Amino acid sequence: MAQKKKNWIRRVVGLLLMYVLLFVGYEYWQKKVEERFLYEDMIHATNECIRVGDWKCAEKNVQELLKSEPNDTNLQMHMAGILFEQERYQECISYIESLNFKHKDLDYLVEKSNALEQELKNLGVEKSMHFRLEFDGGPSKKDVMEALAVLEVAYDSISNLFDFLPENKMCLVLYQDKEFQGVGPRPDWVGAVFDGKLRVPVNMMAYREVYRPVLFHELTHSFVRAMTHANVPCWMNEGIAQVIDGSHNNEERPAGAYPSIESLRKSFVKETDSKKVQKLYWYSRRMVEELLWRDGGGPEAFRKFAKCLQDLRGLGTDKALQKYYGVTAQDLLETIR
């Protein structure tokens, strides 16, 4: 009888222990699931901060994520890029040097940070409400202030068209020395360029009919980058910049076969044939004009185009075009060929 009682007690104790272990296991599992959901929510929030260029928000979130995943190389690369975007070049370099892995994108950030850090030491600086203008070669005060005035007018115009205000100040470099032309070789036909900074040769400032559309053009690229933080097809980027600068409206269609979508998608800067480049720019402008004309070409058409650009990051080119215009890039090219 005593033995049966002992066995019964053991079974009861065993069942209690099993229930306790199951309860503890469930609590542990539930906690892990909640932590995972919170982690994924923070990743989503971080991606949104990056998309809109809110670098302080992005930095704070990535720092929190790194506490949970300190060796996550993707998070570490994001942190390096966030420091770079905030123009904290020395911090960016030091951070990359502290990492235990190598990557070509990190090498680029170090190279670019070193170049831009050197620029900050060597270039003169003037500021306006929305811009920092850096210059070398001692351009006249008139040229510097004229450039800032044109940029402020362009800023107001483009921000109204896109219904978008960039988070950060923008930078223009008026360069005389090719040292300040930006990192990387470029063909001879390229004068002004946008590589995170608007870079314009200072001698262009002597020709009002040239530099005004150039500043509008390059500033449009700056707005597109601030709005999207996505891999924008070159035809969309160059097309909208040409529409806004207004300097190529009367050009005739270039002779010869029309270009491929692939050639219109990738960067035109790698092209050395000026006739091919002219064709790529012409088709880019016409493709964007076609999209704008479908909505009347007024302010609402530009705002719709801006929303399409902002959806490129999540949808890709063709899905974004189909969402807003009911066409693919190839359909659009066929329409205007």
> Does a structural domain hold residue 224?
no
Q: Is residue 23 part of a domain?
A: yes
Backbone angles phi, psi at 175, to 5 degrees: -110, 145
Number of H helices, E strands in the chain: 13, 5
Residue 115 lies in a domain: yes
**How far is C-alpha 153 from the chain's CA centre?**
23
Percent helix, percent strand, percent coil in the chain, to nearest 5:
70, 5, 25
Is the full-model pTM beyond 0.75?
A: no
**Residue ending a domain, choose from 190, 219, 248:** 219
Is residue 331 located within the same domain as residue 273?
A: yes
Instruction: From 164, 192, 219, give the residue that closes a domain.
Output: 219
Residues 114 and 11 both lie in one domain? yes
Q: What is the CATH number of the domain that holds 130?
A: 3.30.2010
Query: The domain that contains 103 carries what CATH number?
Result: 1.25.40.10
Q: Across the strands, what pairs with 194?
A: 198
**Each residue's pLDDT expressed in tens, for the chain with a length of 337 residues:** 555 555 555 665 555 556 555 555 545 445 544 555 556 777 777 777 776 567 788 888 888 888 888 888 988 988 898 888 887 889 999 999 999 988 988 999 899 888 877 766 666 677 788 888 787 766 777 878 888 888 899 999 999 999 998 877 888 887 775 544 444 544 444 566 777 777 878 777 777 777 788 888 888 988 998 888 767 899 999 999 999 988 777 778 888 888 899 998 988 777 777 788 888 899 999 999 999 999 888 889 999 999 999 998 888 899 999 999 999 999 999 988 7
Query: Is residue 316 domain-shared with residue 245, that is, in the same domain?
Result: yes
Amino acid 320: pLDDT: 94
Res 37: pLDDT = 53
Q: Is residue 110 part of a domain?
A: yes
Distance CA 192, CA 48 (A): 31
**Do 10 and 104 sit in the same domain of this protein?**
yes
Same domain? For 116 and 130 the reply is no
Neighbours of 62 (CB within 10 A): 23
User: Which structural domain, as residue segments, surrounds residue 202?
Assistant: 124-219
Q: Are residues 111 and 140 in the same domain?
A: no
- Which whole-number Å values give the CA distances from 227 to 52, 176, 197, 240, 269, in the listed order? 6, 30, 15, 13, 22
| Cβ neighbour number for residue 261 with a 10 Å cutoff | 18
Residue 172 included in any domain? yes
Q: Are 311 and 321 spatial neighbours (Cβ–Cβ below 8 Å)?
A: no
Q: Are strands 131-135 and 170-175 parallel, antiparallel or unpaired?
A: parallel
- Buried b / exposed e over 271-302, threshold 16 CB at 10 Å, is beeeeebebbbbbbbbbbbbbbeebeeeeebb
**Cα–chain-centroid distance for residue 92?**
18
Domain limit, last residue, from 92, 120, 148? 120
Closest CA to 168 of 218, 214, 120, 131: 131
Sequence length of the chain is 337
pLDDT for position 26: 47
Query: For residues 90 and 102, what is the distance between their CA atoms, to the nearest angstrom?
Result: 18
pLDDT in tens, 4-59: 555 555 665 555 556 555 555 545 445 544 555 556 777 777 777 776 567 788 88
Do 43 and 74 sit in the same domain of this protein?
A: yes
User: Do both 111 and 44 map to the same domain?
Assistant: yes
Residues 175 and 187 occupy one common structural domain: yes
- 296 and 209 co-located in one domain: no
Do 54 and 138 fall into the same domain? Answer: no
Number of structural domains in the chain: 3
- For residues 154 and 171, membership in a common domain is answered with yes
The burial class, CB within 10 Å (0-12 / 13-18 / 19+), for 71 is exposed
Tell me the pLDDT tens digit for each residue of 125-165: 777 888 887 877 667 778 788 888 888 999 999 999 999 98
In 123-156, which positions are buried (b, 16+ CB within 10 angstroms) versus exposed (e)?
beebebebbbbbbbeebeeebbebbbebbeebbe
Is 225 within a domain? Answer: no
Q: How many CA atoms lie within 13 A of 279 on its CB side?
A: 18
Q: Is 65 part of a structural domain of the chain? A: yes
pLDDT value at residue 19: 57
